[in-house]
Amino acid sequence: MQRKKNQENLKYMVLSAVFAAMIFVTTAFVHIPTHQGYIHAGDGIIYLAASLLPTPYAICASAIGAGLSDYMSGYAMWILPTMLIKAMSATVFTSKRQTIIDKRNMFALLPASVICIGGYYAAGAVLAMLSGSPVQAALTAAIADVPSNFIQCVASSALFISLGMALDKSGIKHSINPQIQK
């Protein structure tokens, strides 16, 4: 019994590493610079990881992949906010359903978007204030990236839905987690 549990943990750790790498690649190398950061579709892979992996593994993959992307892209001051925001985003999805694309995970796109947009707005304002900007100027500067964060959420949602639908047809969910009944 213990050996089976260890094998399952190892499987999830390996899958988490694979997802962290996919999040890193889709975030660091496929992005468009903006006022304070960049637009990317890597959140779509975060949503996918959170719909396939148990929550602790999805949180780790999301935080590591996205944080590493900020570091490698020259946005080191965003690493901690990004890791927190992406970890929180992963928690609103579930891997306990039969399919990736279901009503709950579709609904989860809304709070994940609110977490992303609101989290980066707050982080942008705090970082601006820490760099010496007055409060009003910091709040104004942070709002400049809200439209690009909205676009990022829409693009990531579209990627998640399209990949999720394709993967649901392949039956991958049952392969990863056989306890979930078809």
Average pLDDT over residues 129-149: 94
User: 131 falls in which pLDDT band (50, 70, 90)?
Assistant: very high
47, pLDDT greater than 70: yes
Average pLDDT over residues 151-177: 94
User: 53 falls in which pLDDT band (50, 70, 90)?
Assistant: very high
The percentage of residues in the chain with a pLDDT greater than 70, rounded to a whole number, is 99
User: 58 falls in which pLDDT band (50, 70, 90)?
Assistant: very high
Confidence at residue 182, expressed as pLDDT on a 0 to 100 scale: 54
Q: How far apart are CA 69 and CA 63, in angstroms?
A: 10
5, pLDDT greater than 90: no
174, pLDDT greater than 90: no
pTM score of the predicted model:
0.93
Average pLDDT over residues 41-57: 97
Average pLDDT, the chain: 94
User: 92 falls in which pLDDT band (50, 70, 90)?
Assistant: very high
Query: Exposure of 175 by Cβ count < 10 A (0-12 exposed, 13-18 middle, 19+ buried)?
Result: exposed
Written out in words, the top-level CATH class of the domain with range 2-176 is: mainly alpha
Query: Exposure of 131 by Cβ count < 10 A (0-12 exposed, 13-18 middle, 19+ buried)?
Result: exposed
User: 63 falls in which pLDDT band (50, 70, 90)?
Assistant: very high
How many CB atoms neighbour CB 62 within 10 A?
31
35, pLDDT greater than 80: no
How many CB atoms neighbour CB 63 within 10 A?
24
